[in-house]
Amino acid sequence: MTNLECRLIEPSRSEPHPAAASSNFEPTFRDPAGQLLLEEDCALRRIRPAAVDETLDFLRSPLRKQLESAGDLIASEVAGAGSIPQAKEGELWLRHPRVDPISYPWEWTPAQWRAAAELTLRIAGKAIAAGWMLKDATPLNVLFLGPRPVFVDVLSFEKRDPHSTVWLAYGQFVRTFLLPLVAARYLGWPLEATLFWRDGYEPAALYRALPAWRRLSPALLDVVTLATLYEGKSGKAKKPQPKPSAADPELAAHILLKRLARLGRQIRAMAGNAAKSEWSGYEQSASHYQPADVERKRQFVSGVLARVHAASPRPARVLDVGANTGTYSLLSAEAGAEVVALDSDTAALESLWRAAFAQHKPITALVANIARPTPAAGWNNREQLALLDRLAGKFDLVLLLAVIHHLLLREQAPLAHIGELCAALTRRWLVVEWVPPSDPMFQEWLRGRDELYGHLTEDDLNRAFSPFFSKVDRCALENGRILLLYERHRGGENADRPAPGAGPA
């Protein structure tokens, strides 16, 4: 088991509410076969008596061992009844490692979406060959362990009828995996919108929105057009139809695998190639950085990483806010850190994810805006955690490189509020790149608000951050930008002290 595999938290169908932190446990409620309970160092799964035998059969199966060895399935171990105080007679309890941070599908790039879909299809194919079947197939059964997807719901497996040619989870896969990619590609509906569609899109919704000529596309004919037309006729009374089956088990398996193969081709077609955006080529085209500035900035961050590693016996955890295409995320990973990279630009972040995946770097990429973080969602806001609850207090170092002016000018966040947020995210260290009002990018976004922001200085930044941090190091670049290393006050002292000169509220 790798270091990363020891950091697993499995959301399955429900996540804990922050208010449950004091009790350590928060049960899921959607799965009739069991519940997931979360602790600080592991995830516990309660299996109800009716599902125990099939779960044990799966755990003993070669398929389970094959999937775990390949890294496709979360590791599981049977927990001794004596170690679970709340265990009841007839129940089975499993213990899983934790993945941290949790990521949700609405925070994935299209390439990550494709990787999660292909993982699900690959597992489904191996299950069919081994006499098993996935009984559900949703992106919520997948987490990202660094750049790699891992399937986390061991209760999704059931014994397969060898004569059946039906995959009951087919419709769920289409609605939750494929149709969001179709909507993103042809209608411009962002993948982030799936936050509001836990059960996916209905074919009829896309059919109404797509132009007539697009509905006849071979890639969409079955999953959108025919599905919609069939659904329109399904309300009419008709005789019960026999369950599709084949006399020959090999033929039945062949039909199922062919269906999975077609879904794989459709997923690849809809995910497409890497997109371009205003920011995906920023680091190559930025004219306000000369080579000497780039090198000095890199050396400063490298020195900070060395300091962080020297102060901790374990691998450092780094949060790169506004990671763009990942220069400093990759630098941090090369230095031995586990990295979470945030950026609201999907194309830029996808470039980073592809690089991390190709280079096997421990970088978790999340499409997110730290100024407008992903909210809690689901029933009573308890099924999916808010982004800041997943990140708070988890990092040894937070990088805020060339981000301050975005937060000030585009989000109108006061400096003191930015400092407070950073203090909530980092356990100790913070690197900030101060962009002065004279900087071309600052001027471009100032837009006549000189009276509000044009007077701000590095001293204002230091005063605003002083209730939370002490300044440790400083590096001035030739382009006028300043790199600052801060150390968080131990125990959060002075956290309530007002910060003058912090910009407009």
Residue that is last in its domain, among 96, 131, 163: 96
Domain CATH number, residue 397 = 3.40.50.150
> Would you state the pLDDT for residue 326?
95
- pLDDT over 50 (residue 22): no
> Would you state the pLDDT for residue 382?
81
- pLDDT over 70 (residue 277): no
In a domain, 488, yes or no: yes
In a domain, 89, yes or no: yes
Using alpha carbons, list the distances in angstroms from residue 127 to 18, 247, 273: 36, 20, 29
In a domain, 175, yes or no: yes
Query: Do 114 and 49 lie in a common domain?
Result: no
Domain count, the chain: 3
> Would you state the pLDDT for residue 2?
35
Could you tell me the residue range of the domain that residue 90 belongs to?
4-96
Biggest CA-to-CA distance, the chain: 80
Burial class (CB in 10 A: 0-12, 13-18, 19+), 32: exposed
List the one residue out of 112, 27, 141 whose CA is nearest residue 350.
112
Query: Do 339 and 291 lie in a common domain?
Result: yes
In a domain, 504, yes or no: no
- Over residues 456-492, the pLDDT tens digits come to 999 999 999 999 999 999 999 999 999 999 999 986 5
Lowest mean pLDDT among 39-53, 137-151, 210-224: 39-53
> Would you state the pLDDT for residue 497?
43
Query: Do 345 and 254 lie in a common domain?
Result: no
In a domain, 406, yes or no: yes
Per-position b or e across 192-222, b if 16+ CB within 10 A of its CB: bebbebbebbbbebbbeebeeebbeeebbee
In a domain, 501, yes or no: no
Q: What is the SS3 assignment for 201?
A: coil
Query: Do 58 and 168 lie in a common domain?
Result: no
List the one residue out of 123, 62, 19, 103 whose CA is nearest residue 390.
103
119 with 72: CB under 8 angstroms? yes
In a domain, 116, yes or no: yes
What is the pTM assigned to this prediction? 0.87
More confident site: 90 or 146: 146
Query: Do 427 and 303 lie in a common domain?
Result: yes
Query: Do 255 and 301 lie in a common domain?
Result: no
**What is the band of 199 on the pLDDT scale with cuts at 50, 70, 90?**
very high
Query: Do 82 and 217 lie in a common domain?
Result: no
Query: Do 218 and 162 lie in a common domain?
Result: yes
- Over residues 110-127, the pLDDT tens digits come to 999 999 999 999 999 999
- pLDDT over 60 (residue 11): no
Using alpha carbons, list the distances in angstroms from residue 271 to 108, 110, 152: 12, 6, 23
Lowest mean pLDDT among 101-105, 187-191, 238-242, 276-280: 276-280
In a domain, 66, yes or no: yes
More confident site: 33 or 432: 432
Query: Do 388 and 327 lie in a common domain?
Result: yes
Query: Do 257 and 309 lie in a common domain?
Result: no
> Would you state the pLDDT for residue 274?
57
Query: DSSP of 401-452, one letter per residue?
Result: TT-HHIIIIIS---HHHHHHHHHHHEEEEEEEEE--TTSHHHHHHHTT-HHH
Using alpha carbons, list the distances in angstroms from residue 387 to 46, 101, 107, 343, 367: 26, 9, 10, 13, 11
Measured in degrees and rounded to the nearest 5, phi and psi for residue 435 equal -110, 110
- pLDDT over 60 (residue 496): no
Mean pLDDT of the residues in the chain: 86
Query: Do 198 and 83 lie in a common domain?
Result: no
Query: Do 28 and 127 lie in a common domain?
Result: no
306 with 318: CB under 8 angstroms? no
Lowest mean pLDDT among 101-115, 245-259, 335-349: 245-259
CA–CA gap between residue 249 and residue 234 (Å, rounded): 29
**What is the band of 283 on the pLDDT scale with cuts at 50, 70, 90?**
low
Strands ordered across the beta sheet of 482-488: 363-367, 338-343, 317-321, 395-400, 426-434, 482-488, 469-476
Quote the percentage of the chain above a pLDDT of 90.
68
155 with 69: CB under 8 angstroms? no
> Would you state the pLDDT for residue 265?
95
Residue that is last in its domain, among 48, 63, 96: 96
